Amino acid sequence: MIGHAAGAPRMIRLLGAAALMATFPISWALRDVLSRDLMPVCIFRIATGKPCPLCGMTRAFAHATHGDLRAANAMNPLWWLAAMVILVFAAALIADGIAGGDRSGTIVGFFQRHWRYFAVALGFFWLARITL
């Protein structure tokens, strides 16, 4: 992950933050294309016909960047959580790039230590999503 390796050059961290933040204007610009869902790209959805916990996230971002929160929630109700993770990690990368330190590495370490909890939570979300 960008920023996780201790001593990663500051410019690399700033570029990583810029790449993460580009998610929002790209989603905004491509909303019309993304909302058509012409070709599913999720391997799980292709194989089973059921959405995975992350299915619709890109389309949800596209709608959210246009202020259509109802459509964003219909695509994937966890879009706001993913947006917050992107914003927090990008902010940590910017802080690392400007002031030094390894705040982004601390965040990655947190997720590495607690990944099981996130996996269980996503599993429950997925079960609710496919059964309701």
pLDDT (tens digit per residue) in 29-72: 988 887 777 766 788 888 888 888 888 888 899 999 999 999 99
In this prediction the pTM is 0.78
Q: In Å, how far are 57, 97, 106, 125 from 101, measured between CA atoms?
A: 31, 8, 10, 35
Residue with the bigger pLDDT between 7 and 90: it is: 90
* Digit-coded pLDDT (tens) for 87-125: 999 999 999 999 988 999 999 999 999 999 999 998 899
Predicted local distance difference test score (pLDDT) of residue 89: 94
Tokens of 14: 């700033």
Predicted local distance difference test score (pLDDT) of residue 6: 52
Domain boundaries, the chain: 10-131
Contact criterion met (CB below 8 Å) for 79 and 57:
yes
Residue 8 confidence (pLDDT) above 70: no
**Residue tagged 């330190």 (tokens):** 101
